[in-house]
Structure 1
Amino acid sequence: MHPAADRPYPALLSTQQIRAREHGMASQLPRYTLMARAGEATARLALALAPHARQIWIACGAGNNGGDGLEAAIHLRAAGKAVHLSLATGAGRTGPADAAPADAAQALQRAQAAGLVCSNAPPADFDLAIDALWGIGLRTDTASMPQGPALSWLQQLLHTERDVLCIDTPSGLSADTGAWADWLADAVPQAPRGRRFTLSMLGLKPGLFTLHGRDWAGEVWLAPLDAHNPIWRCDQAAPLDGTGLDGGRLVSHAQAPTLVHHSHKGQFGDVGVLGGQAWGAEGQGMEGAAILAASAALHAGAGRVMLHLLGSSTQSARPAGIAADIMLRSLPGLQALRGSLVCGCGGGSLVAAALPQALAHAGSLVLDADALNAIASSAALQQALVQRASLAGPTVLTPHPLELARLLATDTATLQRDRIGAARQAAQQWQCLVVLKGSGTVVAAPDGRYAINHSGNARLSIGGTGDVLAGCIGAHLAALPPGAAWADAWQPLLNAVWLHGHAADTWPPQRMLTASRLARSLQRPG
């Protein structure tokens, strides 16, 4: 293992970029060097993860992913492990062994010379499995469905309670999107039954960190396959040279500013929250959503927090549950606010009337929930959103998949098959920052850059946590200077998204997490 570097934003590389990197490195090295390094790195990680494993099953495809597995088998056998090799033929179909790529063929010869015997069946029992069936080269359309025993091996890998180490990617999972292959999706369990690990070769793939990738890739490690052949855990990996997929990054830490003692509340900025349609408006009170957003902004470090509940009167009694630190404001008073405005949380149908003023004049603007639904159904509001990019401060959209599908005039299933592409499309179309919530939240910018957040867990799958996120983002944008652009908001936005998930990751396991508790657990950056 290699000492971990404190570099919080490792690059994410597309399949095309990985292939380019592989080609560039291979052209400068003796033949078979990269496969030798990949196999040796896999064996070292397997020994570290399961030092007491006696029987190791390595399921190998006929391509280079299988070659990596064969090379790993040689090292594991030399380390005294009992290795059971299952080898497919003909690129996952039936066919002659000489159809394998040259490096994979050499790996097979080396394995046989080392005394390893290949079988067409898995062992009766094993302590650790290594998935070396198919890597980034596997096509995911139904017409390209592989044939032969490797499919049944994959099913066993998906259903086993034993630990599984995947080489490069979990077989059948898109390295770019985190979606399962069309021919496999209906046969995959909802969640793994055992621990999962993935050793990503050459660079980190975005699909390992979003949608199904977060569950099925498990704990992700990186083997850059350079001369020293280190292994890095993904949240501690040093970024490689070059950019990711148009600037893709994995957000695994927050980069917080240093706070000085000589500070005052004005330096932390003001946050206004506009939403929370009152009970009297349509007989459906949603005040709680806006109160949660305001509480989150308060605890995440805003200097002052102001709240207007849509449909309420300034003469009304102060609603219960609003902290004394939060100031109530009339709608005109809130719209004149400098700082950041969080708009839409529980806004109901009344938020549409307030949006034109917010889009035209707000400094930093966070649009969530009902504000997004109102924009999706109004051509005039969509035009105002686009015009805002050149007239006002940075705008952040915080949709869940259904809300973004409405904005892009598509359906949720289609959007989820390419979450990164959908978030980037929306950011470019509306010229704003987009936070697509879900497993592996995607943050995208108008220039094509994106990041995948690595914090958070299933505890956030409860009502109100999205409102908390909106308020947290508002707090992090509140201190931006007048005239700030979206690029100025990029880093504070990443910090806010990561800290929101981190609060859930560090929540005591014996205590129930609710949105109100989540809001109170947020911390000011720095």
Structure 2
Amino acid sequence: MFDVAMPWAVLGDGSRRDAERLPLFGVAATRALEIEAARALPPHTLMQRAGGSVARLALALAPHARRIWIAAGPGNNGGDGLEAAAWLQRTGKQVTVSLAPCVQTPVDAAAAGAEARAAGVALVESSAPPEPLGPDDLAIDALFGIGLTRAPAGWALAAMRSLNDGGTPVLSIDLPSGLDAEQGALLDETAVVQARWTLSLLTLKPGLFTAQGRDHAGQIWFHDLGVHAEASQASAGLLTGASSLWPARRHAQHKGSFGDVWVVGGAAGMAGAALLAARAALAAGAGRVHLVQLDPQSPTLDPMHPELMLRPLAALHDARTPLENATVVCGCGGGDAVREHLPGLIARAGRLLLDADALNAVAADPSLARLLEMRAGRGRAATLLTPHPLEAARLLGLQTDAIQSARLSAAERVAQRWHATVVLKGSGSVIAAPGETTLINASGNASLATAGTGDVLAGWIGGLWAQGLSARSAALLGTHTHGAAADVWCAHQARPGPLAASALIAQLRR
């Protein structure tokens, strides 16, 4: 068992392992693995292991809990809860299980119910504990796990509300009930368990780490139940580190060895966005950073960073400007003014990162969208897109809710259409690229919800990309370190709040 929030995993035998990327398994892959494992084991073994794992974690997390109440659903998740109840009762805890009314119970869950009765566990039909629980007690959510496919109702809905009432800490088994295992969406905005801890069993599920998952799952623990899952069977991955991707810097190299970045943006009233992107590219280690601001009245010098080379608009259309060998970051604060420059940039840039208003322009103009599609056939020309959910919705012609309810598949659709590496920003940013495993970034927090942090991310990734990394490696390293910088900053604050974009660059530089 280990806590996936830690920089290294703590296994049952106390060993360590590098956990920079952990496999994530969707519902179908998890069920297939469960069936395969069960065939090789004596009956009920997996459920017994699951119940024991839940019980041991409950005792570790809430050793002084006076009472333990378990809400058990009608399926195997409820069976896991019943197994845990028997374990906990045998340790001397006072355990009550509320059982969902069910016509037919799975065989393993029925056996777990019999074991709980034999252990002396109190089994009740009520959807609430017999007595109100307090903050010193423990509630265990064993309602649905990965089995819920529609909004809960009736007894189950009442039990979910009881779990959320009273301030009692909740341990969810596998998933907080009401959370979609694949995408992290809520099946019903008004019906989802708020867990303090979640123990994911057999596999880690993507929905725990993106969209609403991070807010509702609390601290996430994992136990593989003694079953080895091949990473090749995973539907996605969790990016928990990226230190191996840092570009090397040898003594004999010079500034030309680390690439040129051209930042294009900063229309009237939005000069700050382009400046933030350019400064972030510098902090990332790009050899030279050129800034082209779309506002003709913009300054010709950044007094805070005079090493930035500010260029006139005419440089973008000069055939002597070596864009073919450069990394172009376009769109940060570009407004409508960026649209007229996109055809040339799409055609010429060797590495092209589109963000913000550049993405909106592509979404609104079919001719630009077609030009971007054609880049895939231009040999070494590479594209990287960094949309937030609204920009992704515009690119796909959908509503934002549709993106947020299917974040992984939405990122994959954008990547496939434009044959690009895509960073779909948000809680648990999703990184997708054609032919590659889709990854969810584990770093970052709500301190990044401030103006300009997206511009910093674009410039930061662009600066890393210019140093010879592939588009995907730059996206992985850039996204993870961007979030990790905010995590480190928050850890040193007495009361974490918003992190200003300029302060984020300083933190990234450190």
Q: Shared fold (TM-score greater than 0.5)?
A: yes
* Alignment match, 1:241: 230
Q: Does 1:131 align with 2:141?
A: yes
3-state secondary structure, aligned to 2:34? helix
**Structure 2 matches for 1:325-364, cutoff 5 A?**
325-333=307-315, 336-337=322-323, 338-364=325-351
User: CA–CA distance in 2 between the matches of 1:435 and 1:383?
Assistant: 20
* Alignment match, 1:504: 486
Q: Does 1:147 align with 2:151?
A: no
2:176 is aligned, of 170, 181, 192, to 170
User: CA–CA distance in 2 between the matches of 1:259 and 1:52?
Assistant: 53
1:19 is aligned, of 26, 31, 35, to 31
List per-residue Cα deviations over 1:383-429 (Å, max 9, x = no partner).
Answer: 11111112142211111111111110111112211111111111111
* Alignment match, 1:309: 293
User: CA–CA distance in 1 between the matches of 2:302 and 2:249?
Assistant: 33
List per-residue Cα deviations over 1:7-54 (Å, max 9, x = no partner).
Answer: 210011110000010011011111101000100111111122122222
1:390 is aligned, of 354, 357, 377, to 377
Q: Does 1:43 align with 2:76?
A: no
3-state secondary structure, aligned to 2:376? helix
User: CA–CA distance in 1 between the matches of 2:435 and 2:107?
Assistant: 40
User: CA–CA distance in 1 between the matches of 2:353 and 2:275?
Assistant: 15
User: CA–CA distance in 1 between the matches of 2:230 and 2:132?
Assistant: 44
* Alignment match, 1:380: 367
* Alignment match, 1:112: 117
TM-score by length of 2: 0.90
The alignment of Structure 1 onto Structure 2 pairs a total of residues equal to 481
* Alignment match, 2:22: 10
3-state secondary structure, aligned to 2:415? helix
List per-residue Cα deviations over 1:311-359 (Å, max 9, x = no partner).
Answer: 327xx74355651121112345455243311100001111111111111
Deviation at 1:124, TM superposition (A): 1.5
* Alignment match, 1:186: 190
* Alignment match, 2:81: 69
**Structure 2 matches for 1:415-494, cutoff 5 A?**
415-447=403-435, 449-480=437-468, 488-494=470-476
Which amino acid in the other structure matches residue 173 of structure 2? I
Cα RMSD of the aligned pairs, angstroms, is 2.0
After superposition, the Cα gap between the structure-2 partners of 1:330 and 1:79, relative to the gap in structure 1 and judged at 3 Å, is: same
3-state secondary structure, aligned to 1:273? strand
Deviation at 1:262, TM superposition (A): 4.1
List per-residue Cα deviations over 1:441-488 (Å, max 9, x = no partner).
Answer: 11111226311011111111111010001011101110227xxxxxx3
* Alignment match, 1:233: none
3-state secondary structure, aligned to 1:10? strand
TM-score by length of 1: 0.87
1:266 is aligned, of 235, 256, 262, to 256
* Alignment match, 1:57: 69
After superposition, the Cα gap between the structure-2 partners of 1:54 and 1:268, relative to the gap in structure 1 and judged at 3 Å, is: farther
* Alignment match, 1:282: none
2:271 is aligned, of 277, 284, 287, to 287
List per-residue Cα deviations over 1:196-235 (Å, max 9, x = no partner).
Answer: 11111111111111111011111111111116xxxxxxxx
**Further displaced range: 513-522 or 74-83:** 74-83
Which amino acid in the other structure matches residue 274 of structure 1? V
User: CA–CA distance in 2 between the matches of 1:321 and 1:87?
Assistant: 68
**Contact 1:197/1:219, CA 8 A, preserved across alignment:** yes
After superposition, the Cα gap between the structure-2 partners of 1:162 and 1:262, relative to the gap in structure 1 and judged at 3 Å, is: farther
* Alignment match, 2:106: 101
**Further displaced range: 288-297 or 334-343:** 334-343
**Contact 2:178/2:192, CA 8 A, preserved across alignment:** no
Runs of 4+ aligned structure 1 residues displaced above 6 Å come to none
User: CA–CA distance in 1 between the matches of 2:345 and 2:304?
Assistant: 23
3-state secondary structure, aligned to 1:84? strand
User: CA–CA distance in 2 between the matches of 1:297 and 1:11?
Assistant: 31
**Further displaced range: 463-472 or 444-453:** 444-453
User: Which ranges in structure 1 are unaligned for 5 or more consecutive residues?
Assistant: 91-95, 228-238, 280-284, 482-487
3-state secondary structure, aligned to 2:54? helix
Deviation at 1:81, TM superposition (A): 2.0
User: Which ranges in structure 2 are unaligned for 5 or more consecutive residues?
Assistant: 2-11
User: CA–CA distance in 2 between the matches of 1:361 and 1:24?
Assistant: 52
Which amino acid in the other structure matches residue 260 of structure 2? D
Q: Does 1:276 align with 2:232?
A: no
Deviation at 1:505, TM superposition (A): 0.7
After superposition, the Cα gap between the structure-2 partners of 1:264 and 1:160, relative to the gap in structure 1 and judged at 3 Å, is: farther
After superposition, the Cα gap between the structure-2 partners of 1:267 and 1:78, relative to the gap in structure 1 and judged at 3 Å, is: farther
**Further displaced range: 317-326 or 32-41:** 317-326
User: CA–CA distance in 1 between the matches of 2:229 and 2:89?
Assistant: 32
Deviation at 1:303, TM superposition (A): 1.9
User: CA–CA distance in 2 between the matches of 1:177 and 1:222?
Assistant: 18
**Structure 2 matches for 1:246-257, cutoff 5 A?**
246=235, 248-254=236-242, 255-257=244-246
